[in-house]
Structure 1
Amino acid sequence: MVGVEEAKRIMMEHFANTARRFGLSELYGYIYGVLFFEDEPLSLGEIAERTGYSLSHVSTALKLLENIGLVKRIKKPGDKRAYYTAIKNIREWRKEAYYKKIEEDVKQTRENLLKALKEVENDKSEEAEKIRQRIEFALQRNAITEKILNIFLKNEDEQVLKALLECLEEKLNSENP
């Protein structure tokens, strides 16, 4: 049992450090960690008790974790309380939450770049020409990002990464024998 508790402690610290790296309080990592190791959903009060943080702090953190797709809220029949569970399949989370958010951002970026380009289309000044060139460059980069993202959305991560690695190794090895 000592090994199990130490394994859980190591992973809890890992989740807390991950939250810190993303500029969040360690609480977000601890909440995810508590839920990650549970088989059954936990209530707000149970999560607060296990993390040692106040109900209001835990509630705020759960809203963000739910919003980014790492935690799911569940209602039990006949119980007014909300219960929470961690999304444990990180591959599915990346595809549904992470990649979808990036996809939204890429589309919004394209729309705004096109709007900005339209604003300077009839302007013949030197400054407008510079802006057009920068926007067109950004549109090209955005199109590449969109293509790469679509590859990840339509395929399994591991399959894409393996193919990408093979292509890069082959290309670099042929250039530097």
Structure 2
Amino acid sequence: MSLEEAKRIIMETFANTARRLGQSELVGYIYGALFLANDPLSLSDIAEITGYSISHISSAMKVLEGVGLVQRIKKPGDRRAYFVATKNFSEWRSSAFYEKILRDIDETKESIMRALEELEGEQGSEVEEIKEKLKMALRRNEVARKLLTLIMQFKSEEELLKVLESCLKKE
């Protein structure tokens, strides 16, 4: 197999993953290009690699930056923005993405609590059904927060995997 074919397979894999997650395939192609690159890439570099327009790439880049998979960097003396892929756990961990998730979890909890407060003193089977659903959502919310907080305590993927493997062996 040739190097170019291997790169094509990786790019297609990331594009397919993006599609499965409800994103444009372009998001996957951009991440693939950055993942395979040895140096930071500009929007025009990415456009050349992917064949998409700079305006489409710029829009998709906002998605990738928003979830912490891509980081924007500046090169001294160059006004253009360059981008690198977040390739490992510690880079992703240092991005603001997981803090955004925690903030979303906390905001969701506050909203559920406000909804429960609104139902105080209300009667009826529909009210009781909604209260139960909200209580279940609170439990899921708390589990999500605990899991994310626990995962983010690890310094590397290897450390996290060792702990997970150890837990699985105990089962």
* TM-score, normalising length: structure 2: 0.81
Query: Number of residue pairs matched?
Result: 170
When Rg is computed on C-alpha atoms for both structures, the one with the higher figure is 1
CA distance in 2, matches of 1:157, 1:111: 32
Q: CA deviation at 1:4?
A: 2.5
C-alpha spacing 1:24/1:111, structure 2 compared with 1 (3 Å): same
C-alpha spacing 1:8/1:147, structure 2 compared with 1 (3 Å): same
CA distance in 2, matches of 1:85, 1:160: 24
User: Which structure 2 residues correspond to residues 117-156 of structure 1 after superposition, within 5 A?
Assistant: 117-155=116-154, 156=156
C-alpha spacing 1:19/1:94, structure 2 compared with 1 (3 Å): farther
1:57 to 2:64 alignment: no
Write out per-residue CA displacement over residues 96-151 of structure 1, whole angstroms, 9 at most, x where no aligned residue: 45543432232122111111111122334444333333322322232223222222
Write out per-residue CA displacement over residues 43-69 of structure 1, whole angstroms, 9 at most, x where no aligned residue: 211211121111211111122212221
More relative contact order, 1 or 2 (CA 8 Å, 6+ apart): 2
The answer (yes or no) to whether the contact 1:151–1:160 under 8 Å persists in 2 is no
1:175 — aligned with what?
A: none
1:44 — aligned with what?
A: 43
Query: Mind listing any 5+ residue stretches in structure 2 that lack a counterpart?
Result: none
Query: Over aligned residues, Cα RMSD in angstroms?
Result: 2.6
2:2 — aligned with what?
A: 3
1:66 — aligned with what?
A: 65
Report SS of the residue matched to 1:57. Answer: helix
Q: State the identity as a percent.
A: 52
CA distance in 2, matches of 1:124, 1:53: 57
The answer (yes or no) to whether the contact 1:95–1:153 under 8 Å persists in 2 is no
User: Which structure 2 residues correspond to residues 70-89 of structure 1 after superposition, within 5 A?
Assistant: 70-89=69-88
The answer (yes or no) to whether the contact 1:120–1:132 under 8 Å persists in 2 is yes
1:174 — aligned with what?
A: none
* TM-score, normalising length: structure 1: 0.78
Write out per-residue CA displacement over residues 65-92 of structure 1, whole angstroms, 9 at most, x where no aligned residue: 1222111112222222212222222564
CA distance in 2, matches of 1:36, 1:9: 12
Query: Mind listing any 5+ residue stretches in structure 1 that lack a counterpart?
Result: 172-177
C-alpha spacing 1:42/1:169, structure 2 compared with 1 (3 Å): closer
CA distance in 1, matches of 2:78, 2:169: 56
